[in-house]
Amino acid sequence: MIHQLSSQGEVFEKVHLFFSFSCAVRMKNQREVCRIYEEHFFQENPIIHTILFEVYFGVIGPSAEQYHQSAIKWLKDTKIAYRYIEGVIKRFPKIPQEHWLIALNCLNVALCVSDSVSAPVFSDLVSILTNSLKHSGNTNGETVISLILKMLNVMMQKTSEQKLSMNNSVYEKLCKSLLPLTRPHYSSLTGVWTYGLFANINDFAPKLVALCGLSPVPEMILIKAETEMDKVMKKKLQMLDESLRHPAGSSAVESLCEETAALSTSRKKKKKKKKIQQEEGSQESEQQDKEDTVVTSIEESSPSVQPFTQSDETPNNPRRWHQTSCRWRSKLKKLANIDASKTCRPPGLTLVPDPEFLIAKGSDGTEVYLGLRDDGTEVAVKRMNRSNYQVLKNEEEFLRLPELDDPSIVRYVDFAEDDNFGYLVLQLCEYSLEEYIQDHLPDDSAERSLVLKKLVKEVLCSLQVLHDQQTKVLHRDIKPQNVLIDTKGKARLADFGISRRLNLSQTTLRTSSAGTRCWKAKETIDEEANTGYKRSSDIQVAGMLVYYILSGGQHPFGKGPRCEVNILEGRYSLDHLDDDVAKDLVERMINEDPNERPTVEQTLAHPFVWTDDRRVEYLKKLGNQKEVNNYRNVDEELLQAAEKYTEGKSFSDWKTKVGLTSMLKYAKILTYTVGTESIQTPLNFSLF
């Protein structure tokens, strides 16, 4: 009948096209469907005003991923993403709200594959997307909001700064629409993307942001940003936070501005360098290499290996000082104003080796002092006697590796020496992990859990930097005192004095026993043995540290003289952990058999470190598996027995801990969409 109607006019012809497409999806494979219908991708549905390409992209089912990838490839290969974007701008006002999501998903892809976004298109899209934000209170509300925020961020990145600053009215409208999304009842991920947009606008229109009524960035958002943003965006977010907390401006804001600008410049130069190399060959790329220099607020100096001298600066003349640290502020203030005759002055640095400015001591004779660079940067200075400072030189060697220039590792600044001591100048942090766990965790239990989980992930990420196939560094002294917490609450791995690097073909390092008592892998405890130290040895000790973090300072193998005996015998207790998923991660990492321990990449793929979105997605996919049908009509007696013996465990009474809305949204009905047709399948939840 539909085929006959299709001959009655253009509208019926289009209805027939969309119906035949949905039938083809069921009966043919993805390649055949694409071959038959790609010439019709821009045909518009006369009723809901989506186009066939959007329906093709939105196919759901076993072959969904093939359709998604094929659609993206088609957009890139045909180079008509911009034509698609202009079409969406015209069609979107006519698309019913319940079909917005499919159009927005395709628009997001088109923006991502586009090289740039013109100012007029940017303005038109802002109008469409901000209007969509106002009307996103449906069942897909949070999903639509997240998608819109991601697109706005992509648009910001792909519109040049010159075009961005042309029309402030566009950004006034954007700020007004974004402001409600900073309220606490929205998810932290929504908050991260929203504040990220404000951070971008703050780059070229700071007065506009300052006057829109935006509050400083909440701590929960800063924590979430650590895993959701790249280095440049995190710096921009920090700069926004500082400018909102100190509207009149401060040296800290200036410092962040410099560092953010340097990171952005580096990114642009690298892209430019790549383009020059492709177009003009190696001769011009060689010249670009000379220009491709990254300047940060903490500049890496060439080692100033020369004797310290007493300062010849004018007495009582205050030094430059960018205030960053909270913990050490009072001491740094005194250091910034101390009489020059009391200071030692290696090139570019002010140091007072006095107990008043001593902030840490090591068992090997190392002393750590507060210091100030001439550019005002706060630093920590490790001092060691020259008769025993090979450890210090070893640490410098590792920290200067380009592979360890990473946000997860304490930053190297400089090195110097005099007749008596060697001095290693490092980024100043606030606390050791030991101090932070004991005295500085949030009081709120939910916030504390989030912070602890973040710390675990950051520790594992720092180990990932070391264990990378191109780096192959063994730390060999992982412990709470060697993880430092910076001014933003981020964990950074430190102290590489006894670290070693494997050769490219090497997997095991034969060495005498190294490390700290109670923080050694089983295979490295025997001091008489020529120990084989592997990356898996770091993993076992990192597992102990993960437990230490999550348990609030406990050791899985206990304390006292029996600790190392317990490590050798494989005796441990995880009683201070209630989360079974966390226990599983720790047990895998502290396994007494080195061959059974996971790699650091596997620990970062463990469900414990999954985001909430990934967990929900996993449960949704699990519910779609055919094997689940075998458990729909579970025996009631068996179910009661299972509930009885899981009482008090992680998944006991899970339904009481999940919101009714979420349960109904993700569990009550599974909806499969093929073309424009939806098939709903009810589920039996008694099995859960």
pLDDT, tens digit, for every residue of 516-575?
A: 999 999 988 876 656 688 999 999 999 999 999 999 999 999 988 899 999 999 999 999
Question: Rounded distance, CA 46 to CA 426, Å?
Answer: 65
Give whole-number Cα distances, 88 to 49, 73, 75, in Å: 10, 19, 14
Q: What is the pLDDT of residue 605?
A: 92
Which carries the bigger pLDDT value, residue 633 or residue 230? 230
Q: What is the pLDDT of residue 32?
A: 92
State pTM to two decimals.
0.53
Check pLDDT > 90 for residue 618.
Answer: no
Q: What is the pLDDT of residue 677?
A: 39
Q: Where are the domains of the chain?
A: 1-112, 181-276, 309-428, 433-609, 614-687
Which carries the bigger pLDDT value, residue 659 or residue 361? 361
Which carries the bigger pLDDT value, residue 299 or residue 309? 309
- For 74-112, the pLDDT digits (tens) are 998 888 898 999 999 999 999 998 888 889 999 999 999
Q: What is the mean pLDDT of residues 630-654?
A: 63
Question: Rounded distance, CA 528 to CA 509, Å?
Answer: 16
* pLDDT confidence band for 365 (50 / 70 / 90): confident
* pLDDT confidence band for 340 (50 / 70 / 90): confident
Q: Taking all residues of the chain, what is their mean pLDDT, rounded to a whole number?
A: 79
Q: What is the pLDDT of residue 655?
A: 52
Which carries the bigger pLDDT value, residue 165 or residue 223? 223
Check pLDDT > 50 for residue 117.
Answer: yes
Which carries the bigger pLDDT value, residue 250 or residue 440? 440
Given a contact cutoff of 8 angstroms between Cβ atoms, the answer to whether 372 and 350 are in contact is: yes
Q: What is the mean pLDDT of residues 127-135?
A: 83
Tokens of 386: 């020259």
Check pLDDT > 50 for residue 646.
Answer: yes
Check pLDDT > 60 for residue 306.
Answer: no
433-609, what's its fold? Transferase(Phosphotransferase); domain 1 (1.10.510)
Q: What is the mean pLDDT of residues 256-277?
A: 50
| Domain spanning 309-428: CATH 3.30.200.20 | yes
* pLDDT confidence band for 230 (50 / 70 / 90): confident
Give me the numbers of helices (H) and strands (E) for the chain, helices first please.
Answer: 29, 17
Question: In one letter, which amino acid is 116?
Answer: S
Q: What is the mean pLDDT of residues 238-253?
A: 68
* pLDDT confidence band for 187 (50 / 70 / 90): confident
- For 411-461, the pLDDT digits (tens) are 999 888 887 888 899 999 999 999 999 999 988 888 999 999 999 999 999
Tell me whether strands 309-310 and 344-345 are parallel, antiparallel or unpaired: antiparallel
* pLDDT confidence band for 167 (50 / 70 / 90): low
Give whole-number Cα distances, 313 to 344, 351, 651, in Å: 11, 13, 66
Residues 6+ apart with CB under 8 A from 329: 323
Q: CB neighbours (10 Å) of residue 561?
A: 9
Question: Rounded distance, CA 53 to CA 35, Å?
Answer: 13
